[in-house]
Amino acid sequence: MAVHTQTPRHWAPEEIQLVTTVVDRCWEALERARAAEAERRLYAEVAAERVQLEEVFQHALSFVAVLRGPALVFERANDRCAELLGGRELIGRPVREAVPEVDGQGFFEILDRVYRTGEAYVGKDARVMLRTGNGELEERVLEFVFQAMRDATGAVSGVLVQGIDLTDHKRAEAELARVTAASERRRRLYETVLSNTPDFVYVFSLDHRVLYANDALIEMWGRGRDGALGKTFLEIGYEPWHAEMHDREIDQVRATKKPIRGEVPFNGTNGRRIYDYIFVPVIGAQGEVEAVAGTTRDVTERQAMEQELRDADQRKDEFIALLAHELRNPLAPIRNGLQVLHLAGTDTSALARTRVMMDRQLSHMVRLVDDLLDASRISRNKMELRRTRVSLSEVMASAVETARPLLDDAGHELRVALPAEPISLDADLTRLAQVFSNLLTNSAKYTPRGGQIHVSAERNSAEAVVSVRDTGIGIPADALSAVFDMFSQVDRSTERSRGGLGIGLALVKGLVEMHGGTVTAESAGPNKGSTFTVRLPIPVDQTELPHETHETGTAPTKRTRRVLVVDDNHDGAESMAEMLGLLGGEVRTAHDGLEAVTAAEEFRPEIILMDVGMPKLNGLDATRRIRSHPWGREMAIVALTGWGQESDRERSRDAGCDGHLVKPVNLSDLEKLLGTLRNEHK
């Protein structure tokens, strides 16, 4: 069998050269790829480091700034630098322009010298006057370095400013030095004072043990001196979290040499109390912290008073907003009435109704202002009573007469039961009648329509006891104690915004007490009615005098066009409807949210003027219900309300209203808006 062998192929020189060239180029391409990848990684690392350096620069604990060029223009400045210079604009401004108050203090000259010579300058405990954020000059103590910066050629291109603001540190050091020196001079005096002060005074060792505690603190701990001195917080009986917190604070004072202040609850022999405390370092002769001293004060009552003040301030703010709202309610029909007077011409009936309505609403405004003035007079002890001998029946008749329009308007049943035997009082008839009319109107406002209000009176020994009981919304138990406070209201919800400034019951209390009596409130809770009981002293000699009278009024009504006016204020709704009727068209009115939805479905108006605060269903929810029906999606709905802040406008827009008008509405504004909406909804 023959064996064939293959003769090795010989490469031609040009083939070898070609292969060599290809291999070399591959290696070159590989090296370039590796170099590019290395360059990319290096660039990424440099970029990351630059970001980190930027972060370190911006948030460094020391102030840092970069000044460029001969004019030393701010190129960079970190947060500490901006804080030191009062938050003013720095970047892009020459240092002399940015910090003009430094002129004449020698620092600009030093900066110029560093830029000119390239030699660094170090400043220690340098004092400089700088303008703070509120524009005042303040001395600051600085430790800083001015360092020349060079470009690629080695030439100086700017100055790097870096340093630390030592002002607070120096002040703390000065204060500590003063306290230390003073304490040494007055040690014996302090021993006497500290032993008798009601505040707690103490000194702790650096290993968290009690070195000194005054008598008040020893008594509060309740463990005697042997059970306190030399003990840790845990051993004294502090809760673990509390002991750990104070241990940590002692360590911090030692490390920083700066005081620490805090507030904490503690259960001692005085019960659970709130304490305000401060820990300060006790500095030794070599400047080291030898111990931590402090004082603690019981601030439980102070906090309660502060909370009362905050609550009173909040009630005041709520009252101011409510006052604006309540004044707009009568102003709206008054302005509408004025427009009706302009438009009615010779329509004597419309003119008469409008004048009566305007007079009634003006009287309402006068009563609001009078209540405010009376509240002010009582609070300043400026109220004077014109006492005469009056009968309780006269007082009640006057009160009922004043409250009757509101009672009738709400459809309430009023029952008055007075004793057969006359009761005479030594009183100011007008002011005492105001007491009971306020109680009646309060019950009328906070009792659902068609409710019952009972007034009963009896003689109890030397007192006349009068009770006003209603079937209204009641008073929650937690609100009973504050119901007679100024600006206090039990229910401020949108659905029940029936008026009132929150001063009526405060006036009742003030006037009753001025007559030598008392007034109390009782309620079984929400929706279970309320009872207000007034007790007045009866003089021994029983005589009676005539009584005063009070005026009343009635509300006008008129059906007017394809505009639906919705307002629970009947005068406001009817006067608006009459004004729109005189302008032409068909107007209908509704007086609560549910009635508005029904009227909108039946009447199909082009435009609805919707009051926001109404009973049963507020105007915003009524708008949402109308919008939920196919027939209500094309109607133009305008919120017509006494609330006019931007948040109120946003709420009306969110509910689906096309516009928002604030009472009282100007006729030209109303006509303009109605014209715009009619054009948009054609």
Angle ∠(207,213,214) on CA atoms, nearest 5: 170
Whether residue 186 has pLDDT greater than 90: no
Whether residue 21 has pLDDT greater than 90: no
Q: What average pLDDT does the segment 182-205 reach?
A: 76
Q: What is the pLDDT of residue 289?
A: 93
pLDDT range class, residue 645, cuts 50, 70, 90: low
Q: Any idea what DSSP says for residue 650? A: H
Q: What is the pLDDT of residue 375?
A: 67
Q: What is the pLDDT of residue 386?
A: 81
List the structure tokens of 9. Answer: 């192929």
Q: What is the pLDDT of residue 506?
A: 83
DSSP secondary structure string, 503-518? -HHHHHHHHHHHTT-E
Q: What average pLDDT does the segment 308-332 reach?
A: 73
pLDDT range class, residue 491, cuts 50, 70, 90: low
Sorted by sequence, the CB contacts under 8 Å of residue 548 that are 6+ apart come out as 398, 429, 430, 433
Whether residue 461 has pLDDT greater than 60: yes
pLDDT one-digit tens code per residue, 216-246: 899 899 989 899 999 999 999 999 999 999 9
Give residue limits of the domains in the chain: 60-165, 171-298, 384-537, 563-680
Q: What is the pLDDT of residue 647?
A: 75
Q: For the chain, give the number of residues.
A: 682
Q: What is the pLDDT of residue 152?
A: 87
Q: What is the pLDDT of residue 361?
A: 75
CATH number of the domain located at residue range(s) 563-680 in this protein: 3.40.50.2300
pLDDT range class, residue 51, cuts 50, 70, 90: low
The rounded distance, in Å, linking the Cα atoms of 510 and 375 is: 8
pLDDT one-digit tens code per residue, 579-607: 888 887 789 999 999 999 999 999 999 99
Domain spanning 171-298: CATH superfamily:
PAS domain (3.30.450.20)
Query: In DSSP terms, which residues pair with 589 in a beta bridge?
Result: 565
Q: Which fold has domain 60-165?
A: Beta-Lactamase (3.30.450)
User: Which of 680, 638, 635, 681 lies closest to 659 in space, CA to CA?
Assistant: 638
The rounded distance, in Å, linking the Cα atoms of 108 and 70 is: 12
List the structure tokens of 261. Answer: 């202040």
pLDDT one-digit tens code per residue, 251-294: 999 999 999 999 999 988 888 899 999 999 999 988 999 999 99
* Residue with tokens 């062998």, as numbered in its chain: 5
Output b/e per residue, 498-522; b: 16+ Cβ within 10 A: bbbbbbbbbbbbbbbebbebebebe
Sorted by sequence, the CB contacts under 8 Å of residue 304 that are 6+ apart come out as none
pLDDT one-digit tens code per residue, 532-583: 999 999 987 654 444 433 333 333 333 335 899 999 888 888 888 888 888 8
pLDDT one-digit tens code per residue, 302-313: 888 888 888 778
The rounded distance, in Å, linking the Cα atoms of 618 and 595 is: 11
Q: What is the pLDDT of residue 139?
A: 93
Local structure of 657: helix, strand or coil: coil
Pick the CATH number of 384-537 from 3.30.70.100, 3.40.190.10, 3.40.50.300, 3.30.565.10: 3.30.565.10
Q: What is the pLDDT of residue 337?
A: 83
Please indicate whether residue 203 or residue 379 has the higher confidence score (pLDDT): 203
pLDDT above 90: percentage of residues in the chain: 41
Q: Which of 120-124, 337-341, 568-572 has the highest mean pLDDT?
A: 120-124
pLDDT one-digit tens code per residue, 365-381: 766 666 666 666 666 67
Instruction: Please report which residue ranges of 222-347 form alpha helices under DSSP H.
Output: 233-236, 240-256, 300-344
Tell me the pTM. 0.39
Amino acid identity, position 489: Q
Q: What is the pLDDT of residue 682?
A: 57
Please indicate whether residue 50 or residue 614 has the higher confidence score (pLDDT): 614
pLDDT range class, residue 489, cuts 50, 70, 90: low
Sorted by sequence, the CB contacts under 8 Å of residue 116 that are 6+ apart come out as 156
Local structure of 53: helix, strand or coil: helix
The rounded distance, in Å, linking the Cα atoms of 130 and 128 is: 6
* Residue with tokens 């659905």, as numbered in its chain: 495
Q: How many CB atoms lie within 10 A of CB 469?
A: 18
Amino acid identity, position 265: P
Same fold, 60-165 and 171-298: yes
Q: What is the pLDDT of residue 558?
A: 38
The rounded distance, in Å, linking the Cα atoms of 262 and 517 is: 47
Q: What is the pLDDT of residue 247?
A: 95
List the structure tokens of 97. Answer: 């322009």
- 214, with CB counted inside 10 A (0-12, 13-18, 19+), is buried
Whether residue 90 has pLDDT greater than 60: yes
Contact yes or no for 326/643 (Cβ under 8 A)? no
What's the chain's average pLDDT?
A: 83
